[in-house]
Amino acid sequence: MRLILTIAALVWATTCHGGAWLRAQGTGFLTSSVLQGADGHSDGALYFEYGVRPKLTLGIKVDANMVVGQLAGGSGFAFARLPIPTGDRAYKLAYEIGLGATLNSETEPLLRTGLSYGRGIKWREKYGWLAVDFAVEWSLAGAAHTAKLDTTLGLGITDTTKIMMQVFVSGTEDATSLTLAPSLIWQPREKKPSYQIGFEAEQGDVSLRLGLWQEF
C-alpha cells in the first residue's frame, strides 16, 4: 500500500509544479496563467521546467504585473532544482537556486534560494499530495529581500479532475501578505493539456485565475 501511495502521489504531483518532486529525465512541464482582478488589474505567470538528468531539473519562472495591458512590474528567474536524499522515507526534499531580475522600470538582479517538502496523501480512497515550498529572493543590488512560503494541498477526484487549495504567504521588511487560492484542474484527455480555473483572495480582494498546463 505504501508503494501504491508513493506512485500515485508522484503521478499527481508531477502534473503540478515540481516542488520537491524532480521532473523525470527528458520530460518537461509548461504552464501559463492569467489572474484577473475586478478592478481591471491583471497578472500573468509563466512556468517551465525540464528534467536534464535524474537528479537535476532546470526551469524558468516569470511573474508579470499588468495594468491596462502594460507591464507594471514583476520578476523572472532561471533556476536549478536538486534533490536532498531522504532514503525510503514517505516524503521528498529538494533545494533550488536561481538567478533573475525584477521587471520594473529599473532592473534589479536577484538571487533565489529555496527548499521544498512534498509527500503523498490519501483520503477516502482518493490520492493526492502535500507540498510546502519556502524561498527567499535576495536583491543583489542592496540588502532587501522577500520571503515566500507556498503551501499546496491537492487531491485527485476523478481520472480527469483534481482540486487544489493553495496558501501563499509573502513577506518583506515592511509588509506581509496572505493569499488563499482554491482551484480546479481538468484534463479532458490523457497526454493532452489541462485547464485550471480558480480564485485568489487577498485582503478582501478576489481575482479569477485561468491557466493552461502541458506536459511533454
* Contact between residue 205 and residue 38 where contact means Cβ atoms under 8 Å apart: yes
CATH number at residue 59: 2.40.160.40
Structural contact between residues 113 and 133, judged by C-beta atoms closer than 8 angstroms: no
CA distances from 76 to 31, 34, 102, 110, 127 (A): 15, 16, 7, 9, 33
Count CB-CB contacts under 10 A for residue 1: 6
pTM, full prediction: 0.86
Strands (E), the chain: 28-37, 42-53, 56-67, 70-84, 91-102, 109-123, 126-139, 145-156, 161-171, 176-186, 194-202, 205-215
Domain that holds residue 198: 2-215
Domain count, the chain: 1
Q: Which of 94, 148, 83 lies closest to 117 in space, CA to CA? A: 94
Task: Report how far residue 36's alpha carbon sits from residue 42's, in angstroms, rounded to the nearest whole number.
Answer: 4
Per-residue confidence of the chain (216 residues) as pLDDT tens digits?
444 444 444 444 544 556 899 999 999 999 999 998 877 778 889 999 999 999 999 999 998 876 555 556 788 999 999 999 999 899 999 999 999 998 776 788 999 999 999 999 998 889 999 999 999 999 998 878 999 999 999 999 999 999 999 999 999 888 899 999 999 999 999 889 999 999 999 888 899 999 999 999
Can you list the alpha helix ranges (DSSP code H) found in the chain?
2-13
